Structure 1
Protein backbone atom coordinates (compact mmCIF):
# COMPACT_ATOMS: atom_id res chain seq x y z
CA UNK A 1 0.00 0.00 0.00
CA UNK A 2 1.68 3.17 -1.24
CA UNK A 3 0.66 6.22 0.81
CA UNK A 4 1.73 9.83 1.19
CA UNK A 5 4.53 10.18 3.73
CA UNK A 6 3.71 12.19 6.84
CA UNK A 7 5.25 15.62 7.27
CA UNK A 8 8.95 14.80 7.92
CA UNK A 9 9.43 17.85 10.16
CA UNK A 10 6.50 16.94 12.39
CA UNK A 11 7.77 13.37 12.62
CA UNK A 12 11.27 14.61 13.46
CA UNK A 13 9.86 16.89 16.16
CA UNK A 14 8.17 13.89 17.75
CA UNK A 15 11.40 11.88 17.52
CA UNK A 16 13.38 14.65 19.23
CA UNK A 17 10.72 14.91 21.94
CA UNK A 18 11.19 11.19 22.60
CA UNK A 19 14.96 11.61 22.81
CA UNK A 20 14.47 14.43 25.29
CA UNK A 21 12.11 12.26 27.35
CA UNK A 22 14.80 9.58 27.48
CA UNK A 23 17.41 12.23 28.43
CA UNK A 24 19.47 11.47 25.36
CA UNK A 25 21.55 14.01 23.42
CA UNK A 26 19.86 15.58 20.42
CA UNK A 27 21.46 15.36 16.96
CA UNK A 28 22.80 18.57 15.40
CA UNK A 29 20.38 20.91 13.62
CA UNK A 30 21.76 19.87 10.22
CA UNK A 31 20.95 16.20 10.91
CA UNK A 32 19.18 15.10 7.70
CA UNK A 33 15.55 14.13 7.44
CA UNK A 34 14.80 10.56 6.38
CA UNK A 35 12.41 11.69 3.64
CA UNK A 36 11.22 14.93 2.06
CA UNK A 37 7.78 16.58 1.88
CA UNK A 38 5.79 15.04 -0.96
CA UNK A 39 7.50 11.65 -0.79
CA UNK A 40 5.51 8.43 -0.63
CA UNK A 41 6.08 5.35 1.50
CA UNK A 42 5.10 1.71 1.56
CA UNK A 43 6.14 -1.47 3.33
CA UNK A 44 7.81 -4.31 1.52
CA UNK A 45 5.38 -7.08 0.56
CA UNK A 46 4.28 -9.03 3.62
CA UNK A 47 5.57 -12.35 2.28
CA UNK A 48 9.00 -10.79 1.71
CA UNK A 49 9.16 -9.55 5.31
CA UNK A 50 7.95 -12.93 6.54
CA UNK A 51 10.68 -14.64 4.52
CA UNK A 52 13.34 -12.33 6.00
CA UNK A 53 12.05 -13.08 9.52
CA UNK A 54 12.17 -16.82 8.84
CA UNK A 55 15.71 -16.66 7.45
CA UNK A 56 16.98 -14.60 10.39
CA UNK A 57 15.32 -17.00 12.82
CA UNK A 58 16.98 -19.93 11.10
CA UNK A 59 20.38 -18.24 11.22
CA UNK A 60 19.97 -17.60 14.94
CA UNK A 61 19.12 -21.28 15.40
CA UNK A 62 22.30 -22.10 13.47
CA UNK A 63 24.24 -19.80 15.84
CA UNK A 64 22.99 -21.83 18.77
CA UNK A 65 23.72 -25.31 17.51
CA UNK A 66 21.38 -26.28 14.67
CA UNK A 67 23.33 -28.60 12.32
CA UNK A 68 24.09 -27.25 8.86
CA UNK A 69 22.30 -30.12 7.12
CA UNK A 70 19.13 -29.55 9.14
CA UNK A 71 19.20 -25.84 8.34
CA UNK A 72 19.70 -26.43 4.61
CA UNK A 73 16.92 -29.02 4.51
CA UNK A 74 14.50 -26.60 6.15
CA UNK A 75 15.35 -23.86 3.67
CA UNK A 76 14.84 -26.27 0.76
CA UNK A 77 11.55 -27.62 2.10
CA UNK A 78 10.31 -24.06 2.68
CA UNK A 79 11.51 -22.81 -0.74
CA UNK A 80 13.53 -20.02 0.88
CA UNK A 81 17.02 -20.66 -0.49
CA UNK A 82 16.71 -17.68 -2.83
CA UNK A 83 15.94 -15.39 0.13
CA UNK A 84 19.28 -16.12 1.85
CA UNK A 85 22.05 -13.59 1.18
CA UNK A 86 25.55 -14.83 0.18
CA UNK A 87 27.10 -14.08 3.62
CA UNK A 88 24.17 -15.83 5.32
CA UNK A 89 24.52 -18.84 3.03
CA UNK A 90 28.21 -19.18 3.84
CA UNK A 91 27.33 -19.16 7.53
CA UNK A 92 24.48 -21.65 7.18
CA UNK A 93 26.50 -24.08 5.09
CA UNK A 94 29.95 -23.81 6.64
CA UNK A 95 29.72 -21.65 9.75
CA UNK A 96 31.85 -18.99 8.04
CA UNK A 97 31.54 -15.33 9.00
CA UNK A 98 31.21 -13.20 12.10
CA UNK A 99 29.18 -15.32 14.51
CA UNK A 100 28.61 -12.36 16.84
CA UNK A 101 27.16 -10.19 14.08
CA UNK A 102 24.62 -12.90 13.24
CA UNK A 103 23.61 -13.19 16.89
CA UNK A 104 22.99 -9.43 16.97
CA UNK A 105 20.32 -9.92 14.30
CA UNK A 106 18.04 -10.96 17.17
CA UNK A 107 17.07 -7.28 17.49
CA UNK A 108 16.55 -6.90 13.74
CA UNK A 109 14.21 -9.88 13.95
CA UNK A 110 12.33 -8.19 16.80
CA UNK A 111 11.97 -5.02 14.75
CA UNK A 112 10.60 -6.88 11.72
CA UNK A 113 8.20 -8.73 14.00
CA UNK A 114 6.81 -5.39 15.12
CA UNK A 115 6.38 -4.34 11.48
CA UNK A 116 4.15 -7.38 10.92
CA UNK A 117 2.21 -6.93 14.15
CA UNK A 118 3.78 -9.97 15.85
CA UNK A 119 5.20 -7.80 18.64
CA UNK A 120 3.13 -5.13 20.35
CA UNK A 121 5.83 -2.52 20.88
CA UNK A 122 9.38 -1.59 19.96
CA UNK A 123 10.45 0.35 23.04
CA UNK A 124 14.11 1.48 22.82
CA UNK A 125 14.59 0.87 26.54
CA UNK A 126 13.27 -2.70 26.59
CA UNK A 127 15.12 -5.80 25.32
CA UNK A 128 13.64 -8.32 22.91
CA UNK A 129 10.43 -9.90 24.19
CA UNK A 130 11.28 -13.37 25.50
CA UNK A 131 8.00 -14.69 24.07
CA UNK A 132 9.04 -13.73 20.56
CA UNK A 133 10.29 -17.26 19.90
CA UNK A 134 6.70 -18.52 20.24
CA UNK A 135 5.76 -16.44 17.19
CA UNK A 136 8.63 -17.78 15.09
CA UNK A 137 8.65 -20.92 12.91
CA UNK A 138 8.87 -24.04 15.10
CA UNK A 139 12.02 -25.38 13.47
CA UNK A 140 12.51 -28.28 15.87
CA UNK A 141 9.04 -29.54 15.00
CA UNK A 142 9.55 -29.20 11.26
CA UNK A 143 7.02 -26.39 10.79
CA UNK A 144 7.50 -25.13 7.24
CA UNK A 145 7.45 -21.52 6.12
CA UNK A 146 3.98 -21.94 4.65
CA UNK A 147 2.60 -23.54 7.81
CA UNK A 148 4.09 -20.77 9.93
CA UNK A 149 2.58 -18.06 7.72
CA UNK A 150 -0.84 -19.65 8.10
CA UNK A 151 -0.42 -19.81 11.87
CA UNK A 152 0.68 -16.23 12.58
CA UNK A 153 -1.77 -14.30 10.38
CA UNK A 154 0.42 -11.19 10.07
CA UNK A 155 -1.22 -7.77 10.48
CA UNK A 156 1.31 -5.25 9.10
CA UNK A 157 1.62 -1.78 10.61
CA UNK A 158 0.44 1.25 8.66
CA UNK A 159 3.37 2.50 6.53
CA UNK A 160 3.23 5.96 8.15
CA UNK A 161 3.61 4.44 11.63
CA UNK A 162 6.54 2.33 10.49
CA UNK A 163 8.15 5.37 8.84
CA UNK A 164 7.78 7.39 12.05
CA UNK A 165 9.49 4.62 14.01
CA UNK A 166 12.24 4.54 11.38
CA UNK A 167 12.85 8.26 11.90
CA UNK A 168 12.96 7.73 15.65
CA UNK A 169 15.53 4.95 15.32
CA UNK A 170 17.57 7.06 12.91
CA UNK A 171 17.85 9.63 15.71
CA UNK A 172 18.25 7.01 18.44
CA UNK A 173 21.11 5.36 16.56
CA UNK A 174 23.04 8.65 16.57
CA UNK A 175 22.19 9.39 20.22
CA UNK A 176 23.07 5.93 21.57
CA UNK A 177 26.45 5.97 19.84
CA UNK A 178 27.15 9.42 21.30
CA UNK A 179 26.23 8.25 24.80
CA UNK A 180 28.41 5.15 24.55
CA UNK A 181 31.36 7.19 23.22
CA UNK A 182 31.12 9.56 26.19
CA UNK A 183 30.77 6.72 28.69
CA UNK A 184 27.43 7.97 29.99
CA UNK A 185 24.54 5.81 31.11
CA UNK A 186 21.94 4.59 28.62
CA UNK A 187 18.25 4.94 29.49
CA UNK A 188 17.49 1.22 29.57
CA UNK A 189 18.81 -2.29 28.97
CA UNK A 190 19.21 -1.86 25.20
CA UNK A 191 22.62 -0.86 23.81
CA UNK A 192 23.72 0.91 20.63
CA UNK A 193 24.25 -2.37 18.76
CA UNK A 194 20.64 -3.37 19.37
CA UNK A 195 19.33 0.04 18.30
CA UNK A 196 21.42 -0.20 15.13
CA UNK A 197 19.95 -3.62 14.35
CA UNK A 198 16.41 -2.38 14.86
CA UNK A 199 17.12 0.58 12.59
CA UNK A 200 18.62 -1.78 9.98
CA UNK A 201 15.38 -3.77 9.85
CA UNK A 202 13.22 -0.64 9.57
CA UNK A 203 15.46 0.87 6.87
CA UNK A 204 14.94 -2.32 4.87
CA UNK A 205 11.21 -2.80 5.54
CA UNK A 206 10.08 0.79 4.88
CA UNK A 207 10.40 1.72 1.21
CA UNK A 208 10.66 5.44 0.42
CA UNK A 209 9.57 6.76 -2.94
CA UNK A 210 10.54 10.18 -4.24
CA UNK A 211 12.96 12.11 -6.47
CA UNK A 212 15.83 11.81 -3.98
CA UNK A 213 15.51 8.10 -3.21
CA UNK A 214 17.24 5.22 -4.95
CA UNK A 215 15.60 1.84 -5.36
CA UNK A 216 15.03 0.11 -1.98
CA UNK A 217 18.23 -1.65 -0.87
CA UNK A 218 18.76 -5.35 -0.44
CA UNK A 219 19.27 -6.64 3.10
CA UNK A 220 23.06 -6.49 2.88
CA UNK A 221 22.95 -3.10 1.14
CA UNK A 222 21.25 -1.13 3.93
CA UNK A 223 23.44 1.89 4.73
CA UNK A 224 23.75 2.77 8.43
CA UNK A 225 26.71 5.10 8.00
CA UNK A 226 24.68 8.32 8.46
Structure 2
Protein backbone atom coordinates (compact mmCIF):
# COMPACT_ATOMS: atom_id res chain seq x y z
CA UNK A 1 0.00 0.00 0.00
CA UNK A 2 1.44 3.32 -1.08
CA UNK A 3 1.58 6.32 1.19
CA UNK A 4 -0.98 9.11 0.79
CA UNK A 5 0.30 12.65 1.22
CA UNK A 6 -2.12 15.17 2.74
CA UNK A 7 -1.91 18.79 3.95
CA UNK A 8 -0.69 18.96 7.53
CA UNK A 9 -3.20 20.26 10.09
CA UNK A 10 -2.65 23.66 11.65
CA UNK A 11 0.44 23.14 13.84
CA UNK A 12 -0.66 25.66 16.46
CA UNK A 13 -4.09 24.06 16.87
CA UNK A 14 -2.48 20.65 17.22
CA UNK A 15 0.00 22.01 19.76
CA UNK A 16 -2.78 23.62 21.79
CA UNK A 17 -4.52 20.24 21.94
CA UNK A 18 -1.26 18.60 23.04
CA UNK A 19 -0.79 21.16 25.80
CA UNK A 20 -4.39 20.65 26.93
CA UNK A 21 -3.64 16.94 27.27
CA UNK A 22 -0.51 17.65 29.31
CA UNK A 23 -2.55 19.88 31.58
CA UNK A 24 -5.20 17.17 31.98
CA UNK A 25 -2.44 14.76 33.02
CA UNK A 26 -1.07 17.40 35.42
CA UNK A 27 2.27 17.42 33.67
CA UNK A 28 4.54 20.48 33.29
CA UNK A 29 4.18 22.43 30.06
CA UNK A 30 7.18 23.02 27.81
CA UNK A 31 8.52 26.58 27.48
CA UNK A 32 6.89 29.06 25.11
CA UNK A 33 9.75 28.74 22.62
CA UNK A 34 9.34 24.95 22.39
CA UNK A 35 9.43 24.33 18.62
CA UNK A 36 6.53 23.12 16.53
CA UNK A 37 6.97 19.76 14.79
CA UNK A 38 5.93 21.17 11.41
CA UNK A 39 5.08 24.51 9.83
CA UNK A 40 1.91 25.85 8.18
CA UNK A 41 1.73 24.66 4.58
CA UNK A 42 3.71 21.45 5.18
CA UNK A 43 2.42 18.09 4.03
CA UNK A 44 2.43 14.76 5.83
CA UNK A 45 2.26 11.09 4.97
CA UNK A 46 2.97 7.76 6.59
CA UNK A 47 5.75 5.54 5.41
CA UNK A 48 4.54 2.77 3.09
CA UNK A 49 2.56 0.15 4.98
CA UNK A 50 4.92 -2.64 3.96
CA UNK A 51 7.88 -0.74 5.35
CA UNK A 52 6.14 -0.21 8.70
CA UNK A 53 5.09 -3.85 8.79
CA UNK A 54 8.69 -4.89 8.17
CA UNK A 55 9.92 -2.68 11.02
CA UNK A 56 7.31 -4.17 13.36
CA UNK A 57 8.37 -7.70 12.39
CA UNK A 58 12.06 -6.92 12.94
CA UNK A 59 11.41 -5.34 16.34
CA UNK A 60 9.26 -8.32 17.33
CA UNK A 61 12.07 -10.68 16.34
CA UNK A 62 14.61 -8.66 18.32
CA UNK A 63 12.38 -8.85 21.40
CA UNK A 64 12.16 -12.61 20.88
CA UNK A 65 15.98 -12.71 20.86
CA UNK A 66 15.97 -10.71 24.11
CA UNK A 67 13.86 -13.42 25.71
CA UNK A 68 15.70 -16.49 24.53
CA UNK A 69 15.15 -17.13 20.83
CA UNK A 70 18.38 -18.74 19.52
CA UNK A 71 20.38 -16.64 17.05
CA UNK A 72 20.32 -19.33 14.36
CA UNK A 73 16.52 -19.60 14.50
CA UNK A 74 16.26 -15.81 14.32
CA UNK A 75 18.50 -15.57 11.25
CA UNK A 76 16.68 -18.42 9.54
CA UNK A 77 13.38 -16.62 10.07
CA UNK A 78 14.76 -13.35 8.68
CA UNK A 79 16.16 -15.13 5.62
CA UNK A 80 12.96 -17.07 4.96
CA UNK A 81 10.92 -13.86 5.39
CA UNK A 82 13.26 -11.84 3.11
CA UNK A 83 13.78 -9.24 5.83
CA UNK A 84 17.56 -9.33 6.28
CA UNK A 85 17.91 -6.00 4.44
CA UNK A 86 15.48 -4.36 6.87
CA UNK A 87 17.67 -5.06 9.91
CA UNK A 88 19.99 -2.22 10.94
CA UNK A 89 23.70 -2.95 11.63
CA UNK A 90 23.32 -2.67 15.44
CA UNK A 91 20.26 -4.93 15.29
CA UNK A 92 22.13 -7.45 13.14
CA UNK A 93 24.99 -7.62 15.65
CA UNK A 94 22.49 -8.25 18.42
CA UNK A 95 20.49 -10.87 16.51
CA UNK A 96 23.58 -12.82 15.42
CA UNK A 97 25.86 -12.43 18.41
CA UNK A 98 23.95 -10.85 21.28
CA UNK A 99 26.15 -7.75 21.06
CA UNK A 100 24.85 -4.36 22.19
CA UNK A 101 22.76 -2.94 24.99
CA UNK A 102 20.25 -5.68 25.85
CA UNK A 103 18.15 -3.28 27.93
CA UNK A 104 17.80 -0.79 25.08
CA UNK A 105 16.49 -3.53 22.79
CA UNK A 106 13.96 -4.62 25.42
CA UNK A 107 12.69 -1.03 25.56
CA UNK A 108 11.73 -1.31 21.88
CA UNK A 109 8.58 -3.04 23.16
CA UNK A 110 7.00 0.41 23.37
CA UNK A 111 8.26 1.46 19.94
CA UNK A 112 6.63 -1.64 18.53
CA UNK A 113 3.40 -0.75 20.36
CA UNK A 114 3.46 2.70 18.80
CA UNK A 115 3.96 1.31 15.28
CA UNK A 116 1.15 -1.18 15.89
CA UNK A 117 -1.14 1.78 16.61
CA UNK A 118 -0.05 3.45 13.36
CA UNK A 119 -1.21 0.38 11.43
CA UNK A 120 -4.44 -0.01 13.39
CA UNK A 121 -3.32 -3.19 15.18
CA UNK A 122 -4.14 -1.66 18.56
CA UNK A 123 -6.90 0.84 19.25
CA UNK A 124 -5.20 3.36 21.50
CA UNK A 125 -1.84 4.72 22.52
CA UNK A 126 -2.59 6.12 25.95
CA UNK A 127 0.49 7.66 27.65
CA UNK A 128 -0.67 6.42 31.06
CA UNK A 129 -1.23 2.78 30.03
CA UNK A 130 1.50 0.16 29.39
CA UNK A 131 1.67 -1.96 26.27
CA UNK A 132 -1.48 -4.01 25.70
CA UNK A 133 -0.60 -7.60 26.60
CA UNK A 134 -2.91 -8.83 23.83
CA UNK A 135 -0.69 -7.18 21.23
CA UNK A 136 1.46 -10.31 21.01
CA UNK A 137 -1.51 -12.07 19.36
CA UNK A 138 -1.24 -9.60 16.47
CA UNK A 139 2.47 -10.19 15.98
CA UNK A 140 4.10 -12.91 13.83
CA UNK A 141 3.90 -16.31 15.50
CA UNK A 142 7.62 -17.01 15.43
CA UNK A 143 7.44 -20.25 17.41
CA UNK A 144 4.85 -21.57 14.95
CA UNK A 145 6.97 -20.67 11.93
CA UNK A 146 4.66 -17.94 10.62
CA UNK A 147 6.70 -16.00 8.06
CA UNK A 148 6.45 -12.29 7.30
CA UNK A 149 4.23 -12.67 4.24
CA UNK A 150 1.83 -14.98 6.06
CA UNK A 151 1.62 -12.56 8.95
CA UNK A 152 0.87 -9.61 6.65
CA UNK A 153 -1.99 -11.53 5.08
CA UNK A 154 -3.39 -12.41 8.50
CA UNK A 155 -3.41 -8.97 10.12
CA UNK A 156 -4.85 -6.85 7.29
CA UNK A 157 -3.36 -3.55 8.46
CA UNK A 158 -5.59 -0.46 8.46
CA UNK A 159 -3.24 2.54 8.75
CA UNK A 160 -4.26 5.64 10.66
CA UNK A 161 -4.99 8.87 8.80
CA UNK A 162 -1.68 10.77 8.49
CA UNK A 163 -3.13 13.83 10.26
CA UNK A 164 -4.13 11.72 13.28
CA UNK A 165 -0.67 10.15 13.41
CA UNK A 166 0.96 13.58 13.14
CA UNK A 167 -1.18 14.90 16.00
CA UNK A 168 -0.08 11.97 18.16
CA UNK A 169 3.53 12.66 17.18
CA UNK A 170 3.17 16.25 18.38
CA UNK A 171 1.65 15.03 21.64
CA UNK A 172 4.55 12.62 22.22
CA UNK A 173 7.05 15.34 21.37
CA UNK A 174 5.57 17.35 24.25
CA UNK A 175 5.12 14.29 26.49
CA UNK A 176 8.76 13.33 26.03
CA UNK A 177 9.85 16.71 27.41
CA UNK A 178 7.24 16.64 30.20
CA UNK A 179 8.03 13.11 31.39
CA UNK A 180 11.78 13.77 31.49
CA UNK A 181 11.18 17.03 33.37
CA UNK A 182 8.86 15.28 35.83
CA UNK A 183 11.36 12.49 36.50
CA UNK A 184 14.19 15.01 36.94
CA UNK A 185 12.11 16.86 39.53
CA UNK A 186 11.32 13.65 41.37
CA UNK A 187 7.60 14.11 40.87
CA UNK A 188 5.01 11.41 40.34
CA UNK A 189 4.09 10.43 36.78
CA UNK A 190 0.41 10.20 35.83
CA UNK A 191 0.37 6.47 35.08
CA UNK A 192 2.39 3.28 34.80
CA UNK A 193 4.44 4.44 31.82
CA UNK A 194 7.86 6.07 32.36
CA UNK A 195 9.95 8.50 30.31
CA UNK A 196 11.85 5.69 28.56
CA UNK A 197 8.61 4.22 27.24
CA UNK A 198 7.35 7.62 26.07
CA UNK A 199 10.67 8.19 24.31
CA UNK A 200 10.35 4.87 22.51
CA UNK A 201 6.82 5.64 21.40
CA UNK A 202 7.96 9.03 20.13
CA UNK A 203 10.89 7.38 18.30
CA UNK A 204 8.48 5.15 16.38
CA UNK A 205 6.15 8.03 15.50
CA UNK A 206 9.06 10.25 14.41
CA UNK A 207 10.10 7.46 12.05
CA UNK A 208 6.63 6.50 10.76
CA UNK A 209 5.26 10.01 10.12
CA UNK A 210 6.93 11.67 7.14
CA UNK A 211 6.90 15.47 7.08
CA UNK A 212 7.31 17.28 3.76
CA UNK A 213 8.19 20.95 3.49
CA UNK A 214 11.05 23.43 3.01
CA UNK A 215 12.45 22.83 6.50
CA UNK A 216 12.35 19.02 6.50
CA UNK A 217 15.09 16.66 5.41
CA UNK A 218 14.48 13.30 3.79
CA UNK A 219 12.94 10.72 6.17
CA UNK A 220 15.60 9.32 8.52
CA UNK A 221 16.60 5.71 8.88
CA UNK A 222 15.51 3.92 12.04
CA UNK A 223 18.85 4.50 13.77
CA UNK A 224 18.97 8.13 12.56
CA UNK A 225 15.82 9.40 14.28
CA UNK A 226 16.77 12.48 16.31
CA UNK A 227 15.28 12.62 19.80
CA UNK A 228 17.65 15.27 21.11
CA UNK A 229 15.08 18.10 21.11
| Separation (CA, whole Å) in 2 of partners of 1:23 and 1:166 | 19
| Separation (CA, whole Å) in 1 of partners of 2:122 and 2:150 | 19
- SS of aligned partner of 2:143: helix
Number of equivalences:
224
- SS of aligned partner of 1:207: strand
| Separation (CA, whole Å) in 1 of partners of 2:178 and 2:164 | 21
| Separation (CA, whole Å) in 2 of partners of 1:182 and 1:153 | 43
Measure how far apart 1:141 and its partner are.
Answer: 0.2
Moved over 3 A (4+): none
Measure how far apart 1:7 and its partner are.
Answer: 0.1
| Separation (CA, whole Å) in 2 of partners of 1:125 and 1:189 | 6
TM-score (norm: length of structure 2): 0.98
- SS of aligned partner of 2:117: helix
| Separation (CA, whole Å) in 2 of partners of 1:188 and 1:67 | 35
2:179 matches 1:176: yes
Q: CA RMSD in A?
A: 0.1
Measure how far apart 1:140 and its partner are.
Answer: 0.1
- SS of aligned partner of 2:210: strand
Measure how far apart 1:186 and its partner are.
Answer: 0.1
TM-score (norm: length of structure 1): 0.99
1:121-136 alignment, distance < 5 Å: 121-136=124-139
Deviations 1:136-170 (A, max 9, x none): 00000000000000000000000000000000000
Measure how far apart 1:92 and its partner are.
Answer: 0.2
Measure how far apart 1:99 and its partner are.
Answer: 0.1
